[in-house]
Chains A and B, each alone.
Chain A
Amino acid sequence: VEHPPAAGEAHVEYPAGKLPPGGRQAGALGFIQVGVRLVIPAVNQREDAQAGVPEPSLVTQLHQALHVAVGGPVADPRGQQAQPVGALPQGGLEGRAVGPRAGTSPEPGQRGAVRRGPERPLPRGHQHLPTRRHVVRQQAAAPRAWGETQEFEQAAELLSADPGASTLSVPASNTVSTAGDGGQDVRLELSEDEEDREESSELLAGQKAAGGFWTFEYYQSFFNVDTVQVLDRLKGSVMPLPGRNFIKNHLRSNPDLYGPFWICVTLVFSVVISGNLSTFLSEMGNPSYHFRPQFHRVTVAAVVIFMYAWLVPVALWGFLSWRQGAERQIGGYSFLETVCVYGYSLFIYIPTSVLWIIPFEWLRWTLILVAMGISGSVLVLTFWPVVRGDTKWMSVATLAAIVALHALLAVGCKMYFFQTAVHVPTPTPSPPPLHMAAATTPRH
């Protein structure tokens, strides 16, 4: 954490990294410029990045810096404070969008609208950098002209310095209750971590969690995807590139439940149907064989796959949250994002299960290895940044557990649904064991 005490510099704290030059987003600036005259030439030169900030002292530092840098009050006719949220270096730009949503404009009295416009892809050459989560609490006192202008100046500074930030608009007279704080605390988020996002979205009527969980709109917010977005996420799940985090690249703070749910359903039916077909093909030469649809397998497959796709993310998310709470680690994905990445990672198994119809054992095992490699690496690449901060032993163990469970699912499905013909008539149906990786499975 660096604190270069330069006079005249606003102590705007960023994690290490250079800010991208230029590249303003029209939406963000338009938002800021409403009613504000931006006259801060010094901001454009401010390219330094500093990491970390102690919470209470930022305010005084900002006051000092602004007093020196600005040199005069700026009129704020709207009485509204616009603060950039999540001002970040290049590495952190991914998760934060800028500017108001199309069609919205800041209004006085608009409460806690979190502006999250369309996400921007990282500019070329920029990398993901670890971001440090911190929260800046700013005591917004009773609106006096100077305080408001200070906030505006600071906001303008932060935003001009990093156009990739998303902005948070809070009317001056209203209060945004942060975690337990009363008064007029305004929460400045300077990180893109999902925890912040999630907490803020719970507290503010933002993009997610509109309404209570008993309203329909709450669940509609989980299906806020277009066809092209779903296709893009499917592509991302089968092409894991090192350095590309599925959650950051493809989800971009808009996790959906459409993909995981329908991928699971499709996988259930594809596994059952392909298994049925493979059994049929392997028995075709057998005159005494009578084709059976084996419909009970649908129930078995549905139970197994849905339990995997929903319980394992719950367990993983809980575990990671617990580890972060204990170790004060950075990052962390929300529950929805974990479910989402697991759901999409199952997509590769759908074509794999169809290809399993081909009755060659070596081919089936090769396909399993390929599919496990691809989807396992998607999962590993996604969760590596989160567990990396943990002790080496724990992070390796976590990743190994993720991969092992994934492998268990794949192998279990293959062994149960795609048995090569061992023609043993079984008059008594026995319910299959859930742990299906046993070498000797009863023939059904």
Chain B
Amino acid sequence: MAASDEASRPFAGLSDVSISDDIAVEGDISVPVGPSARRDDEFSTLDEPVRETVLRDLRAVGKKFVHVLYPKRSAALLRDWDLWGPLLLCVTLALLLQGGAADSDYQGGPQFAEVFVIVWFGSIIITLNSKLLGGTISFFQSLCVLGYCILPLTAAMAVCRIVLVAGSGPVSFAVRLAVVTASFGWSTFASTAFLADSQPANRKALVVYPVFLFYFVIGWMVLTFSPSQ
């Protein structure tokens, strides 16, 4: 374009800018969109059956669960973050921690709200901590990773409740201890596998320690769950 042209027309430079693929547009605006099938879906998600909509998100969540169970450095968890998984896990964990020894509220395990507070505020504080130390991970990506890595501990909680149905003697305690310890280690390992790369090299331990503490506290909540008798 000639310089005079550009100078004369105020938005001249925009005519050859194509809207990026990340912007989903609905309606009848005719804009050049990318040819990927995903864009076509989003372009017409209004007409699809509800089951399809729900399943898409569930599939995304399930895929991330698989990534957590086999933690290796994949970018999928970080790139397509979502908070559905952490929410599901947190609610499940909090529900499973209910029904504990409750002859008085002050003596029992964590309340439902306390679990929520610990999980979400703990994740937020750890994320802030890693960002303040110079990490490059984004806020919600970190929340996503920390939330998803609670999956092993939630699974351990379910196992513990099953074991407790059988009995609550020292054998069951030993089994529960082993299961909780293993899942705590798994959670910590999985989350550091995702988070560690985004930290400056000389501060990795400073970032990993709060994660360790976080899962340790959740593991303690899981382990000390004692059913009402």
Chain A interface (Cβ within 8 Å of chain B)? 216, 219-220, 222-223, 225-228, 230, 258, 262, 265-266, 269, 273, 276, 290-296, 298, 427-429, 444
Contacts and interface: CB of A to CB of B under 8 A. Distances in A.
Given A273-B220, A292-B108, A293-B108, A227 B203 contact: yes
B213 interface: yes
Contact of A292 (B202, B205, B209, B226): B226
Given A273-B220, A295-B221, A227 B108 contact: no
B129 A258 contact: yes
Contact of B202 (A227, A266, A298): A227
B210 interface: yes
Interface string B186-207: 0000000000000000111110
11 contacts: A216-B131, A225-B203, A227-B203, A269-B217, A291-B101, A292-B226, A293-B225, A295-B108, A296-B105, A296-B106, A428-B104
Among B103, B114, B133, B210, chain A packs the most CB atoms within 10 A around the CB of B133
Nearest to A268: B217
Given A292-B101, A429-B105, A225 B110 contact: no
Given A223-B134, A269-B213, A429-B105, 17 more contacts: A222-B132, A226-B202, A226-B206, A227-B205, A258-B129, A262-B210, A269-B216, A276-B224, A290-B101, A291-B226, A293-B100, A293-B109, A293-B224, A294-B106, A427-B104, A429-B106, A444-B106
B221 A429 contact: no
Contact of B109 (A216, A265, A273, A295): A295
Contacts of B220: 269, 273
B122 to A, nearest CB: 9
A247 to B, nearest CB: 21
Contacts of A266: 213
Contacts of B107: 292, 294, 429, 444
Contacts, number: 79
Nearest to B225: A293
B229 interface: yes
A293 B206 contact: no
Interface in B79-129: 100-101, 103-111, 114, 129
Contacts of B225: 293
Contacts of A258: 129, 132-133, 206
Nearest to B109: A293
Contact of A290 (B105, B221, B224, B226): B226
A266 B213 CA distance: 8
A291 B133 contact: no
A45 B43 CA distance: 81
Interface of B: 100-101, 103-111, 114, 129, 131-134, 202-206, 209-210, 213, 216-217, 220-221, 224-226, 229
A225 B114 CA distance: 32
A222 B110 CA distance: 33
Nearest to B229: A290
B134 to A, nearest CB: 7
Nearest to A217: B132
Contacts of A227: 202-206
Contacts of A276: 224
A223 B210 contact: no
Closest 5 CB pairs between A and B?
A: A429-B106, A223-B132, A293-B224, A292-B107, A226-B202
Contacts of B133: 223, 258
A427 B106 CA distance: 10
Contacts of B103: 290, 427
Contacts of A228: 202
B205 A293 contact: no
A295 B107 CA distance: 7
Contacts of A428: 104
Contacts of B210: 262, 265
A262 B106 contact: no
B202 A262 contact: no
Nearest to B207: A227
Contact of B110 (A220, A265, A293, A427): A293
Contacts of B209: 262
Contact of A429 (B100, B104, B129, B224): B104
Contact of A226 (B131, B203, B213, B224): B203
A219 B220 CA distance: 32
B97 to A, nearest CB: 9
A258 B210 CA distance: 11
A434 B196 CA distance: 40
Contacts of B205: 227
A273 B104 CA distance: 19
A230 B208 CA distance: 14
A444 B111 CA distance: 17
A427 B206 CA distance: 43
A262 B106 CA distance: 26
A230 B206 contact: yes
B139 to A, nearest CB: 11
Contacts of B109: 293, 295
Contacts of B229: 290
A262 B207 CA distance: 11
Contacts of B129: 223, 258, 262
